[in-house]
């Protein structure tokens, strides 16, 4: 009998595998046309798509569609209705009983019990007062009491809380849930901007965006920082640390309340106005969303919400991230999917965000969480048993939902592994992201600055790092982000100039070789990354002007100091300091991209990467870029390849005196093409390339100068 049963089970299993192997992926052939090596993993790609598609169909069948399923924030949590009654709903499958208590009932724990529903859900309805007023006022404090199976009464905050605040010192450290229902809610005045063809992201943190040693506010950011961003030529904000986190020093990556915008910067209406003002300037606003893990906090986080080890997370070891000391979501849980997908809808609808940068995607994609794992590029690393299909399915479903409902949405994956097809449409069997972060690029720059003398830089290897990305999977390039700014590391400006930044950044100071080199290389590093490294560009707040020092949040180890948790705008605003040169070059670089749009064109064609000369030249979007990283040697009559015949002019020069350079290039010079192929390009021209200088040439007309001339 056992043998027959086993045979039957194996037969059924084989039948299921065969069914999965022929899952109809609408446009999968596009994937194989672009990368034939993926054909070897066709069965696995089809299987993954099948898991996603089955889940999508289940949601449609059981929940009435993805729109309804992802609008759970409208019913879960605590809501004040139009008739001033109150509706409450929670999911707590491990609880024996739930109660609501707070200001409204004199903090009597068992006075307002929830009613148990199916599937671990609980519901409470509180009618309006006899006089028609609401029993729970705006600003009231609340808690949920979870009665566990052993009879213990546990204080919790609702996972769906939309506003939580740090308590007064005398009341402890646990964040408190506050009802947010102001009589006057902010009304958006401006529609979302159209999705930009070229994405130039200003990554920013509201709390550190003030010169003063304090936590900055939404209002201050709106009034003081947005105008700077617009002037610099960025078209997107990426807001970090918005989802509430009890520990400020976590940089927002230990989220405690997923639906609450952080109250330390202000209230929800002030964040809405910040986003609305950004939209008025044509800026799209991305939220740095953390769905890869959650804080271990119990009293003011999701952890052990229903009194058990699991609920929103995997139980046991699978639910723990050992490196981050945090909890890991159970993406196979129906209610976890409802919670996380609705969380994305909440920020799109309530706050009018334009998209998301998904944090920690590599940790989600693999059972190893990426810990101690290097990715060599072998496709078996991506399509083997180490891939966490449940997490990948969640990400695919999230991208599918977002792009179906918001055609102009932008999604970015923080993935260091290089998972193939992660940034291809779901219809091709891909993950559906629009961009991934080029995380190898900042590592390469730090390695060069930290380990190699200028004359020993391997420009061929540098070019490889900047161009080594998957064809038609968009990458956001950056020389440094918040990761490089944190204490324990150094910004590029600090690696270049920390020895003399405090003594020689004045225009009145004696000339300094250290500062001279630092300013020159800072500009070159950014332009090369911007122009060659991807289809989008990112800069972290303050790095555009070479912000000195690192970033360190108040903590016991620094006596709770805000000295390093701020941005010193006074430095770039001072006409007597050289920081403004870097800032102005950053603006010129962005405005030039806006004019020519190289980020939305094919990758640059590299025509030269000369190890001896330390010269790199390439063309993109019709522009010719030349970089001479040689620390001492300038080159006259230096031949570079150009893509088209004609006359070229100088449109950007890092050595321009207005950018703190030496003014060695003549801006009135015209560069004529010769019918002499060079570096794989059909034409060439001759240039003067000063040491430690980069410049950009743009075509003027189609005039051809023959080689005899």
Q: 151 in a domain, yes or no?
A: no
Closest CA to 307 of 164, 428, 429, 155: 155
Which of 5-9, 102-106, 347-351, 465-469 bottoms out in mean pLDDT, i.e. has the lowest?
5-9
User: What pLDDT digit, counting tens, does each position of 686-704 carry?
Assistant: 999 999 999 999 999 644 4
pLDDT in tens, 16-41: 433 444 688 999 999 999 999 999 99
- The catalytic residue positions are 359, 414
User: Residue 248: its pLDDT value, please?
Assistant: 94
Q: Report if residue 634 sits inside a domain.
A: yes
Structural domain contains residue 475: no
CA distance 455 to 468: 23
CB neighbour burial string for 570-600, b if at least 16 within 10 angstroms, e if fewer: ebbeeeebbbbbbbbbbbbbbebbeebebbe
Collect contacts of 452-460 with beta carbons under 8 A, ≥24 apart. 454/517, 454/521, 454/614, 454/629, 454/631, 455/614, 455/630, 455/631, 455/632, 457/614, 457/629, 458/611, 459/609, 459/610, 459/611, 459/614, 459/615, 459/616, 459/629, 460/609, 460/611
Sign of the CA dihedral with 444 first, then 447, 452, and 453 last: positive
- 547 and 553 in contact (C-beta within 8 Å)? no
Is pLDDT at 360 greater than 60 in this prediction? yes
Token pair, residue 453, equals 């003398």
Percent helix, strand, coil in the chain (nearest 5)?
Answer: 35, 20, 45
In a domain, residue 371? The reply is: no
Mean pLDDT of 354-371: 95
CATH code (residue 651): 2.60.40.1180
Note the pLDDT tens digit of each residue in 179-237: 999 999 999 999 999 999 999 999 999 999 999 999 999 999 999 999 999 999 999 99
pLDDT tens readout for residues 524-541: 999 999 999 999 999 999
pLDDT at 170: 87
**Inside any domain, residue 208:** no
Report the DSSP pairing between strands 153-156 and 141-147.
Answer: antiparallel
The answer to the question of residue 689 being in a domain is yes
Would residue 684 count as lying in a domain?
A: yes
Domain count, the chain: 1
Q: Is 132 exposed, middle or buried (0-12, 13-18, 19+ CB in 10 A)?
A: exposed
3 in a structural domain: no
Enter the pTM of the model: 0.94
Q: Which domain holds residue 641?
A: 602-701
Q: What is residue 40's three-state secondary structure?
A: helix
Instruction: Round to whole Å and give the CA distance between 488 and 481.
Output: 14
What's the pLDDT band for 488 if we cut at 50, 70, 90?
low
Residue 332, pLDDT > 70, answer yes
Q: How far apart are CA 686 and CA 639, in angstroms?
A: 5
What is the total residue count of the chain?
A: 709
Kindly state the tokens that stand for 698. 């743009």
Alpha-carbon span 295 to 116, nearest angstrom:
28
Cα separation of 92 and 201, whole Å?
39
Distance CA 554, CA 157 (A): 26
Answer yes or no: are the C-beta atoms of 351 and 275 closer than 8 Å: yes
Distance CA 63, CA 61 (A): 6
């Amino acid at each position: 009998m056992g043998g027959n049963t086993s045979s039957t089970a194996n037969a059924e299993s084989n039948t299921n595998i065969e069914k999965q192997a022929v899952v109809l992926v609408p446009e999968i052939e596009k994937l194989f046309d672009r990368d034939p090596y993926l054909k070897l993993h066709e069965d696995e790609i089809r299987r993954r798509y099948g898991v996603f598609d089955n889940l999508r169909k289940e949601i449609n069948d059981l929940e009435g569609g993805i729109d309804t399923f992802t609008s759970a924030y409208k019913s879960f949590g605590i809501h004040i209705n139009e008739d001033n009654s109150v509706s409450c709903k929670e999911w707590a499958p491990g609880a024996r009983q739930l109660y609501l208590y707070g200001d409204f009932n004199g903090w009597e724990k068992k006075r307002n019990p929830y009613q148990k529903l199916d599937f671990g859900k609980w519901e409470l309805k509180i009618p309006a007062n006899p006089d028609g007023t609401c029993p729970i006022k705006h600003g009231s404090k609340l808690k949920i009491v979870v009665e566990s199976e052993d009879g213990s009464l546990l204080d919790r905050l609702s996972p769906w809380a939309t506003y939580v605040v740090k308590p007064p010192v005398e009341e402890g450290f646990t964040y408190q849930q506050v009802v947010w229902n102001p009589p006057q809610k902010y009304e958006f005045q401006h529609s979302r901007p159209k999705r930009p063809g070229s994405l130039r992201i200003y990554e920013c943190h509201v709390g550190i965006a003030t010169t003063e040693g304090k936590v900055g506010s939404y209002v201050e950011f709106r009034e003081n920082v947005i105008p700077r961003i617009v002037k610099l030529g960025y078209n997107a904000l990426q807001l970090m640390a918005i989802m509430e986190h009890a520990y400020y020093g976590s940089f927002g990556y230990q989220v405690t309340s997923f639906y609450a915008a952080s109250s330390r910067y202000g209230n929800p209406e002030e964040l809405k106005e910040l986003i609305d003002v950004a939209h008025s300037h044509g800026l799209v606003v991305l939220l740095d969303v953390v769905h890869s893990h959650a804080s271990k906090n119990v009293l003011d986080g999701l952890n052990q919400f229903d009194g058990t080890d699991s609920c929103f997370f995997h139980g046991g070891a699978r639910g723990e991230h050992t490196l981050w000391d945090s909890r890991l979501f159970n993406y196979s849980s129906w209610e976890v999917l409802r919670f996380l997908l609705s969380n994305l809808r909440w920020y799109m609808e309530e706050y009018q965000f334009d998209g998301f940068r998904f944090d920690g995607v590599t940790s989600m994609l693999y059972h190893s969480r990426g810990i101690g794992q290097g990715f060599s590029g072998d496709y078996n690393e991506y399509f083997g048993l180490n891939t966490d299909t449940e997490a990948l399915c969640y990400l695919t479903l999230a991208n599918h939902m977002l792009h179906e409902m918001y055609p102009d949405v932008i999604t970015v994956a923080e993935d260091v592994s290089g998972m193939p097809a992660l940034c291809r449409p779901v219809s091709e069997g891909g993950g559906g992201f629009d961009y991934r972060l080029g995380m190898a690029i900042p590592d390469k720059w730090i390695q060069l600055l930290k380990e190699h003398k200028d004359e020993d830089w391997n420009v061929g290897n540098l070019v490889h790092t900047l161009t080594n990305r998957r064809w038609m999977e968009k990458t956001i390039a950056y020389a440094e982000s918040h990761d490089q700014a944190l204490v324990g590391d150094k910004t590029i400006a600090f690696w270049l100039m920390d020895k003399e930044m405090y003594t020689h950044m004045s225009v009145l100071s004696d000339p300094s070789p250290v500062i001279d080199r630092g300013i020159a290389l800072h500009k070159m590093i950014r332009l090369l990354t911007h122009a060659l490294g991807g289809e989008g560009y990112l800069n972290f707040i303050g790095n555009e002007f070479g912000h000195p020092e690192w970033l360190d949040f108040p903590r016991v180890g620094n006596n709770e100091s805000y000295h390093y948790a701020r941005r010193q705008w006074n430095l770039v605003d001072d006409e007597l300091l050289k920081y403004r040169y870097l800032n102005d070059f950053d603006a010129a670089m962005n405005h030039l991209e806006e004019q020519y749009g190289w980020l939305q064109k094919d990758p640059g064609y590299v025509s030269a990467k000369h190890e001896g000369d330390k010269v790199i030249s390439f063309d993109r979007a019709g522009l010719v870029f030349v970089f001479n990283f040689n620390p001492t040697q300038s080159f006259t009559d230096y031949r570079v390849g150009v893509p088209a015949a004609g006359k070229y002019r100088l449109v950007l020069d890092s050595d321009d005196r207005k950018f703190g350079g030496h003014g060695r290039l003549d801006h009135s010079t015209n560069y004529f093409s010769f019918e002499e192929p060079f570096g794989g390009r059909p034409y060439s021209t001759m240039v003067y390339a000063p040491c430690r200088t980069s410049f950009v040439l743009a075509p003027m007309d189609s005039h051809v100068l023959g080689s005899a001339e």
